[in-house]
Amino acid sequence: MIENPNEVVTKALVRLVPVPGLDRRAALITLDNGFDHKKPNSFGPAGLASLDAAITSALDADPAFVAITGKPYIFCVGADITGMPLITSRDQAVELGALGHRVFARLKDSTVPTFAFINGAALGGGLEVALHCHYRTVSGGAAALGLPEVAIGLIPGWGGSQLLPNLIGAPGAAQVILQNPLTQKVLRPKQAAELGVADVLLEPADFLERSLEWAAGVVKGEVQVTRPEVDKDMWDGVLFFAKQQLDERLHGAVPSANKALELLALAKEASFADGTAAETEALADLIMGDESRASLYAFDLVQRRAKRPVGAPGKELARKVTKVGVVGAGLMASQLALLFARRLQVPVVLTDLDQTRVDKGVDYVRGQIDKLASKGRLGEGDAAKLRGLVTGSVDKSVFADADFVIEAVFENLDLKKQVWAELEKIVSPEAVLATNTSSLPVSAMAADLEHPERVVGFHFFNPVAVLPLLEIVRGERTDDATLATAFAVGKELRKSCVLVKDAPAFVVNRLLTRFTSEVFAAIDAGTPLETVNTALDPLGLPMRPIQLLQLVGPAVGMHVGQTLHKAFPDRYGDSPNLRKIVDAGLPLIVDDEINPAVVELIDAGSAPLTGDQVREKALDALADEIRIMLDEGVVAEAQDIDLCMILGAGWPFHLGGVTPYLDRSGTAERVTGKRFLPRGVASLRP
Amino acid sequence: MPREVREVVFVDGVRTPFGKAGGMYAETRADDLVIRCIRELLRRNPQLPPERVEEVAIAATTQIGDQGLTIGRTAALLSGLPKTVPGYAIDRMCAGAMTAVTTVAGGIAMGQMDIAIAGGVEHMGRHPMGEGVDPNPRILAEKLVDPSALVMGSTAENLHDRLPGITKERVDAYGLASQEKTAKAYANGKLQPDLVTVATRNADEGWGLATADEAPRETSMEKLGSLKTPFRPHGKVTAGNAAGLNDGATAALLADEATARELGLPVAMRLVSYGFVGVEPEIMGYGPIPSTEKALRLAGLTIDDIGLFELNEAFAVQVLAFLDHYGIADDDPRVNPWGGAIAVGHPLASSGVRLMTQLARHFAEHPEVRYGLTAMCIGIGMGGTVIWENPAWEGK
């Protein structure tokens, strides 16, 4: 028998409850792991055994119906993924799949009517147990519903891939099983009811009472449940279209997505027994694959490590921030002002050289507030408060009582030094001075200040309101109080903060630039742009390299590239072709295709590489650079590199960020002589 | 400005099943109990547009924690009523909900509002009697009130002292009858229509559903005779002839009669008169006698005009004092036909509306009865009485 010695067991508690209007009592099963909603219910082997026993005792009582619900705010959020790394053989993986299938099927096969009262979050195996019930109610207060397995390298393997398409049809199922997980989306209760995942949406205030009343109505035949017939004619077409979309984005690189598609196709005609048997096999294959292990590792990084940054000083050292200054009123500065005002709810003041620029910056912020309010994402009261919080001035003396000043002026060391020198005369000696530089040395910026210990790097990723990563840069002299304040502010901004050393371009830009540098070296050598652009497709990255450069902006990319070229001329090239493209000011991509004018412009060499060669060189370069960064102590551990790549560059879970992939492809050992992570951390255990 | 007094009607009332303190509602919030009542009232009366509710008056004796925060307003918001609907908290101890009804009725009669919700809640498990009280030292120093006045059971023993004709046997017999009448009413499905189910949770057992009162029990004169007298050695007041410590909530819809008819709302009872009167605090159970005299006088009625009585059974002695005063037999069928608080429980501030809801049901079953009365004794020496007219009355 499989077991997880560390399982937080979600118990299934059975209670026989009288329901007005019914002669016999109903058996109500509550899923509850004994903790509050912060530690949600999940199913491990012991939890499934508890549910099995609960179903037995419920049915033994000859109830009017059986219903299953959750603890406050949580129905059940799926399989206990902490047990996954413990599975070391395919037999165990098959056993896990089969166990869930066997227990859940009892609710489907029951001759007594079964109901799920989805009172709170229902994800993965949690939603699957509900799908096995004959009927479902959902609370308008449930935080999320979904089958997110594909995102962590698995598939809905406890019946979900077979039940859902046959309940709501292939288009809805493809959305819930494929599209939503790959875009980090879940269903809101209203959507779930509209899609047919639940039969009725009830208000949270008396959800359980109304659910029991509704169930009694169904049992008595007073409530008719009608579900639209599933359209089987469009089934194949929908899945064909879904596959096309997936391939366009992932190029077949995500095995879980491929398996999920196959299972959805199977669900059209297969019997439930055959369908779930195929699920078990698919699940076992995936559990025993490195992609799912890397995905679980990545999921854990994002869920846990991102919330407890390694190396951050104690938060009790943080100083209170009651007013924020932003130097500059350009686009980046304005975006920062909005973010700080929105999240910190303190006055934010922008400054710039002249009133026109200041007005433009403040107007931009107000415009964004209006936009958020009109979309309903900000209440009128909150919008009014924000409008009042953001002001501008040409006189920097407004910074006198600011506790935190961030600069977003042009990327030029002398200019930034000048800004800080001027500010130091105005602000208190303890005010934190943060620089939003992407590649300039923070220590050098602070060098000539009277209080260099209060300077810290605060490197956001564009668009700042969206991308979750914040690289917090400790300069040579940055003190703990400053750093603690920076982390506290970062957390309030709802960013995932990673502590990085003051090294050129920090983490994400340094790695992406090394990558791009290899790409341009290949172009310079004569490799066709199209070959280079598609060379990395097998990795399933969010963007092709030329597309990425277009997004960043060729000029910005070149600027960072040159900074790194100066720092590390051996490893970072200075591509003449990139310079040509920048000088010509041409867009790289036109109508989703590489701009023919750019192709024309390129001065191609005579030693073109194949796509495979380009990929190998790029990955080798990454491995090399990561090893150097770890040796230099740019971050504490390989895990931080991965976290940065996931959150700042959108690198996918199935690669585990980057180092798990470099390990499993053998690149790490070949290039650097050893793995980045021991076996079993983000890969199968030996 | 000339004004007309308008007729105030009781449209509908509901209550939660009453729990025993520390029992089925141990992990249920007090405000959730009354919210459930308000929501159910609105659901049972779909012809009432929620925005037409112009006041939510909710009573609680101990107005702290989940019974604090101006519970009428917060319960209105949490019930999903529009934010434009105001609310307030009100307290007159045991007669809290009764006072909520008479207070909103005053506003309706004066034309300041058309429709109001009035109710009460008391979670005596979460808020034991006397929680957080701070009696003024002058009460003792100046002997303003006998110290026993603050202990309700002691006031009942005091009442026994004054009325030696009310024997231990009579109060026990009354207590037994209350249990028997309630059991019969349950068996005949009389009490169930008033109840709204409440989801209850227990960390060890999971979710459950409260569908019936927790307190009623089978008993006998023999068993009753063996119970302890906690308020006085060799006293007369026991858990068998008094209401227990309970959790529960009630709510009722009150309306201007013309508005009710315009909206198609049922008219269950018409308010005739009411009276609240103070008595010596150490015999607070005597209160309903003068308050009833006042209400009768205001209505121009005599006790003989009253066809049905819903008397709160805080203590059997206080009910019997009332019956003796008005010359009514202990087992008169007009009095608490379905039993009373001794059986179902008395979550202090909520009980007034339970009496009314139950009287409304009796009215529907008894078109031969024109007038009915709800009355209760109140801590610190008061009584409250409301006289109602039966709209279903068929005339002589």
Q: Which two tokens stand for residue A102?
A: 């066997």
Given a cut of 90, whether residue A438 has pLDDT beyond it is no
Tell me the three state secondary structure of residue A402: coil
- Residue A591: predicted pLDDT: 87
ipTM: 0.95
Nearest chain A Cα distance for residue B61, angstroms: 24
Helix-, strand-, coil-residue percentages of chain B, each rounded to 5: 40, 20, 40
Nearest CA in chain A to B198: A209
Among candidates B78, B206, B211 on the partner chain, residue whose Cβ is nearest the Cβ of A15: B206
Q: Which two tokens stand for residue A619?
A: 């990955």
Instruction: List the end-to-end C-alpha distance of chain B, in Å, as a whole number.
Output: 38
Check: CB of residue B56 under 8 Å from CB of residue B82: no
Hey, what amino acid is at A165? P
Tell me the three state secondary structure of residue B261: helix
Q: Which residues contact A389 (CB under 8 A, 6 or more apart)?
A: A341, A345, A346, A347, A348
Longest Cα separation, chain B: 64
Instruction: Tell me if residue B366 is catalytic.
Output: no
pTM over 0.90? The answer is yes
Tell me the three state secondary structure of residue A312: coil
Q: What are phi and psi of A625, to 5 degrees?
A: -65, -40
Hey, what amino acid is at A413? L
Given a cut of 70, whether residue A31 has pLDDT beyond it is yes
Q: Which residues of B touch A28 (CB under 8 A)?
A: 206-209
Cα distance between residue A327 and residue A105, in whole Å: 62
pLDDT digit string, tens, across residues B98-155: 999 999 999 999 999 999 999 999 999 999 998 999 989 998 899 888 888 889 999 9
- Residue B346: predicted pLDDT: 98
Handedness of CA A188, A189, A193, A198 (dihedral sign): positive
Separation in Å, CA A574 to CA A516, A520, A558, A563, A618: 11, 9, 8, 10, 16
Q: Which residues of A touch B208 (CB under 8 A)?
A: 15, 17, 28
- Residue A439: predicted pLDDT: 81
Chains A and B: how many Cβ contacts under 8 Å?
60
| Residue matched to tokens 């805080």 | B314
- E-only strand ranges, A198-333: 200-202, 324-327
Per-residue pLDDT band for B396 (boundaries 50, 70, 90) equals low
Check A3, A7, A95, A128 and give the catalytic one.
A128
Check: CB of residue A302 under 8 Å from CB of residue A496: yes
- Residue B144: predicted pLDDT: 87
- Residue A26: predicted pLDDT: 98
**Which of B31, B200, B209, B211 is the best residue to mutate to test the A interface, defined by the most A CB atoms within 10 Å of its own CB?**
B209
Separation in Å, CA A685 to CA A180, A288, A289, B33: 30, 10, 11, 53
Inter-chain touch A15–B78, beta carbons under 8 Å: no
Asked if the C-beta of B323 comes within 8 angstroms of chain A's C-beta atoms, the answer is no
Supply the angle between the helices A638-649 and A290-303 in degrees, to the nearest 10. Answer: 80
Q: Which residues of A touch B210 (CB under 8 A)?
A: none
To the nearest whole number, what is the mean pLDDT of chain A? Answer: 95
Of A210-219, A224-233, A582-591, the poorest mean pLDDT is in A582-591
Inter-chain touch B205–A15, beta carbons under 8 Å: yes
Asked if the C-beta of B80 comes within 8 angstroms of chain A's C-beta atoms, the answer is yes
Nearest CA in chain A to B35: A205
CA-based nearest residue to A291, from A97, A89, A151, A93: A151
Check: CB of residue B121 under 8 Å from CB of residue B91: no
Separation in Å, CA A122 to CA A213, B170, B381: 22, 58, 54
Q: Over the range B102-112, which residues count as b (16 or more CB within 10 Å of their CB) and which as e?
A: bbbbebbbeee
Which residues share a beta bridge with B335? B309
Check A7, A149, A291, A453 and give the catalytic one.
A149
Pairing of strands A455-460, A469-474: antiparallel
pLDDT digit string, tens, across residues B302-346: 999 999 999 999 999 999 999 999 999 999 999 999 999 999 999
Cα distance between residue A643 and residue A660, in whole Å: 12
Instruction: List the end-to-end C-alpha distance of chain A, in Å, as a whole number.
Output: 20
Inter-chain touch B206–A20, beta carbons under 8 Å: no
What secondary structure letter does DSSP report for A135? E
Q: Which residues of A touch B27 (CB under 8 A)?
A: none
Hey, what amino acid is at A137? T
Given a cut of 90, whether residue B359 has pLDDT beyond it is yes
Among candidates B39, B206, B212 on the partner chain, residue whose Cβ is nearest the Cβ of A13: B206
pLDDT digit string, tens, across residues A402-433: 999 999 998 889 999 999 999 999 999 999 99
Separation in Å, CA B1 to CA A231, B4, B109: 70, 10, 15
Check: CB of residue A533 under 8 Å from CB of residue A546: yes
Pairing of strands A455-460, A390-393: unpaired
Tell me the three state secondary structure of residue A3: coil
Determine how many CB atoms are found less than 10 A away from the CB of residue B387: 24
Asked if the C-beta of B212 comes within 8 angstroms of chain A's C-beta atoms, the answer is yes
Task: Give the gyration radius of chain B's Cα atoms.
Answer: 20
CA-based nearest residue to B206, from A57, A30, A56: A30
Instruction: Tell me if residue B377 is catalytic.
Output: yes
Separation in Å, CA A319 to CA A206, A347, A472, A480, A483: 44, 16, 16, 11, 10
Q: Which residues contact B257 (CB under 8 A, 6 or more apart)?
A: B6, B7, B8, B9, B267, B270
